[in-house]
Structure formats: C-alpha cells, structure tokens
Amino acid sequence: MPGAGTDKTKRWIVAPGPVIILVEPQLGENIGAAARAMANFGLSRLRLVGPRQGWPNDKARMMAAGADRILEAATLFDTVEEAIADCTFVLATTARAHDQAKPVIGAAEAAAEMAPLVAAGETVAVLFGRERNGLENDEIALADRIITLPVNPAFASLNLAQAVVIVAYEWFKRESAGRLPFGMPQKSAPAPKQQLLAFFASLERELEKVEFFRPPDKRETMQINLRNIFARMAPTQQDIQTLHGVIMAIVEGRKGPARGGVLDGEEAEMLRALIAERGAGRDAASQSPARGLSRLLRRNPTEAERKLWQALVNDRRFAGRGFKRQTPVGQHICDFVSFSLRLVIDIVPTGENAAAARARSAKHAWLTDRGYTVLALPARDIEADLAGSLEGIFRAVVR
C-alpha cells in the first residue's frame, strides 16, 4: 500500500531538468532532504561540491525518505568550477545582495528562463550555498543569473532543502502546466430540482410543527432564505439524502435500549412521575398498555437508569444474570429485573410525591407476594456513588 504520498506502483517521472548543485553542504541530513525535494518535483541530477561530512553519507540516506536513486546517482566535485564545467547556463541562489551587475530574478522567472534551454538539450544548473553563509562572491560571479525570494528581510535565511524545494516546485509547476495530481471525486450526481423541492417540503413541514416561521409575516422571506442556503451549496443527490436523514433523526429521536430517545433525563423523570400518579398499567386484565409503556420508558431512560444499566452490562459480576430494563412483570413495569434470580431493582426518584410513593409501595408488595426480591435504590445514591450501588446489587445477587 502506498504511504503518505509515496506510491511505488506509479511511474517515476524521468524528464530533462536543471542540475542541482550543493556547494559545500555541512550536514548530510540537508543533502538527503534536498534529494527528497528534488524527487517530489521531478528533478534527478544532483552534484555535490566538497560535502563537509564526507560522501556517501548514512544520514543523507535516512533523510531522503526513499529518494535513494538521486543520492546514488549524485556526482562529487572538488570545486564549483569543475561542477559547472559542462553547463551553458548557471543560476546562483542567495538571500544577500552581492552588488554584482547581473539580473536578479525570482524562482518562477528562473523556471521560465531555464525551460527553453533545457528543452534544447543544454545543461543548466542551479547553485545552492552553504547552510551557514551561502555562496561566496567569487561563486556568484560564475553565474549568469541570481535567484532570490521574497522573504522577511529580517529573517531571510532559508534551510538548504527549503530553498531547493521552492526552486524545484516552480520548475515542476511550469513543466506540468500546474496540473494537480487529483481532484475532488464526483461520487454522486447533482441533485435534480425535483429532489430539492421534495426536501424543502419535508423540511418546511417539520419546521412548521415547531412554529419556526414566526412572525407569520416573515414566513415567505424565511422560506426563501432557507432555500437559497441550500441552492448555494449546489448539493448532490447523496447530500440531499443525507440531509433528509438528519432531519428525520432529529424529528424522530434516537432508538434502541439505553441509547436515549426524544426526552432528556429530567423529562424522562417527569414521565415516570406522571405514570406513577395515574397508576398506569395497574389493571391486571390489560397487559398491552403496560407493554407499550415499557417500550416508551426503555427508549427514554433517566440519567440514573442510564448510568446503572451501563455499569451493569460492563461489570463481570453480573454477566449471565439475565438483567433486563423496563420490563413488564404482571401489571407492573420494573426498572431492572432478572427473572432467573427473581430480583427486581427499583429506582426511587428524588422528591417523589405521596401518591407515587403509595403506588410504588403497592408494586413492591405485589412483587414480594409473588416471590421477587425487591431492591429499592434512590436515584440520588446511584448518581453520587455508583460503585456503592453496584456493591449493594451484588450482595442481593449472591444472598
């Protein structure tokens, strides 16, 4: 598999280009990094003049990050004069003014001047100086052009490999006509107006339910603004399908055990209090309302229920004990029940009123008469000391 931008399954670009000459580079790492920059932008000819750490160099190979062929083909020279002997056009890079009467150009202009010469088969070279002090005056004097870059005048010195990468980039950009290697994939066709209009109708219908379009005299303007937002996006068919799914998920709420629903924790507690006060599901002759309520309660847990259930299913002590959530037992709905253990865990909400407390007491008596052990846990205790609550449940399990 290709790594971060390196793909050995693709063809290595081999095309004529300028020679890169590094004059007395001090660090092998910089030579390797320069070779990597050359490989990035299709340059292959590297010449070294008196590298300070000797040649070949293991640190250069390490920093080349796979551009080994450039290092292996690099040629070594003792002087700059020897390195440029076969060149017809030489450019020298520098961040300092050397007061020499020759044209000073940028990297893009340098690429433009080199291109026709390289295409004609001439050998063109770009000189890069030492990391510490760059090229000397006599070395600049050997060049036909000076390349410099628009940089911060108070901090103009670039790392050697950084300088190489800028010149190499401008060269390759010109040679490749600036073509990018890839573009945004078109995985879905543009959404037709029919699909957009259907989405708008669905969105506006749901917004109408929550009285979004207020005041009424602003309704038309608000609708137009909404439609323009999506029109500016130029959405695809998949975009509209995804957005429609988002709207429906918000409207219908989350589904599934212990995953919440349309109510938050406080609202879920209010629902339970209302059910307790009205004695819902207490008619033993009618089981279907209780079962319907159990699904509603399971879908909308309180915070205490959510925390306790998550802890139960992740605690190995309770593995295989068969605990279920919000399950009907006769005419009652139990917060947690294990039929195999005949154990019911009942969470007592904070601030329960007298009517709800009486209904809960009657439920406990009904369950006890039928052989169930009932463990009442205050919601505040679960939220304050979950570990202690689990320990209490475990003691009831092993009793």
Q: What is the maximum span of the chain, computed from C-alpha positions, in angstroms?
A: 108
52 contact partners, CB below 8 Å, separation of at least 6: 24, 25, 26, 27
Q: Does pLDDT of 255 surpass 60?
A: no
Amino acid at 298: R
Q: Give tens-digit pLDDT for 160-177.
A: 999 999 999 999 999 888
26 contact partners, CB below 8 Å, separation of at least 6: 52, 53, 130, 131, 132
Instruction: Specify the DSSP element, H or E, that contains 120.
Output: none
The β-bridge partners of 231 are none
Least confident stretch, 46-50, 124-128, 165-169, 358-362: 358-362
- Cα(211)–Cα(170) distance, rounded to whole angstroms? 57
Strands ordered across the beta sheet of 89-93:
75-77, 46-49, 19-23, 124-128, 89-93, 145-147, 104-105
Q: Give tens-digit pLDDT for 291-333.
A: 567 777 777 788 888 899 988 888 888 888 889 988 888 888 8
Q: Residue 127: its pLDDT value, please?
A: 97
CB 133 within 8 A of CB 116: no
Strands ordered across the beta sheet of 323-329:
323-329, 332-338, 343-348, 373-378
